[in-house]
Amino acid sequence: MQPTKTHQSLEGFASIEPGDGGLERVAINSPLAQAHIHLHGAHVTHFQPRGQKPVLFLSRKSLFQTGKAIRGGVPLVFPWFGPNSSDPNLPAHGLARTTKWNLESISRDGDRAVVELSLESSDSTRNLWPHEFELHYRITVGSNLQIELTVRNASSNAWAFEEALHTYLAVADARKVAVAGLAGREYLDKVQGGRRLTEGSEPVTITGETDRVYLDTRDDIVVDDPAGARRLRVTKELSDDTVVWNPWIAKAKALADFADDEWPAMLCIESANIGKNAVNLSPGATHVMKTILSVE
């Protein structure tokens, strides 16, 4: 389906092109920023405000194949987070990120680009998850990146889902970053078997494999990246959990689609609703989770 165009020409502003691995992507090249959005997984793989270094990390070993997740950018996690609790053979982080989405529209809002995609339940999704849903994804590319995931229960029975915008921030050196916005919060430490701990008063630093779910956290997260001489801000709306992940040395080596030397160049700060904060949707109801990535 050809996306609708607004009154302003999209020439030179937005195009649809074959991306990595030949997967179709929307390329935005506006006065404010550049961005790439793959229809595969509705996956934002690149965002670079004018005059800035890229904001998102993308592994040079990432796969770009149907049915496979892209390593980097903003993986869209739905309807479960991590391994599926009832069937470990199901794909990690759900079905949305390895499914091709429909491109609904590309439009201009001044110098900002707005790209809208959708995904509905189908026979193939029902094989993985037996519920009727409609997803709508709105990506606004400007001097910041705004991502809005709307989930609608399209069935006659209530169901619960988990979600995350699994953002891979590009940092100059993860060993030197300081992450503010999580002081005093409780978290589940997956490196320690899911132990529940409480964060101290200081910003979080990365000194080893880090894989934590910070519970009931709604504040902005600010990643100070001194080696990159910038701060990256993650603003969240209707996201109750924040996941912080860096694989460090051993886990990086264990990931086939992640180069061994890439782990200092990334830090995942994920806007999420998982576990006890999974979202319950009654028939016909919707839930909108939003995240905004900005450079300071």
| Residues with active-site annotation | 166, 270
Q: Which of 38, 93, 138, 152 binds ligand TA6 (CB under 6 A)?
A: 93
Residue 94, Ramachandran bin (φ over 0: left; ψ between -120 and 50: alpha; else beta): left
CB of 65 to ligand TA6, least distance (A): 14
Smaller CB separation from ligand TA6, 132 or 240: 240
Quote the CA–CA distance of 42 and 147 in Å, as a whole number.
11
> Binding string, 172-191, against ligand TA6, x = CB under 6 A?
------------------x-
Q: Please, which of residues 63-92 interact with ligand TA6 by CB under 6 A? A: 69, 82, 92
Is the CB of residue 199 less than 8 Å from the CB of residue 217?
no
Quote the CA–CA distance of 45 and 30 in Å, as a whole number.
16
Quote the CA–CA distance of 208 and 249 in Å, as a whole number.
8
Quote the CA–CA distance of 132 and 220 in Å, as a whole number.
32
What does the block give as tokens for 117? 């995609």
> What b/e sequence results for 19-33 when a residue is b if at least 16 CB atoms lie within 10 Å of its CB, and e otherwise?
bbeebebbbbebebb
Q: Which of 245, 263, 278, 295 binds ligand TA6 (CB under 6 A)?
A: 245
Number of residues that bind ligand TA6 (CB under 6 A): 11
> Binding string, 133-172, against ligand TA6, x = CB under 6 A?
---------------------------------x------
Site residues for ligand TA6 per CB under 6 A: 69, 82, 92-93, 166, 190, 211, 243, 245, 268, 270
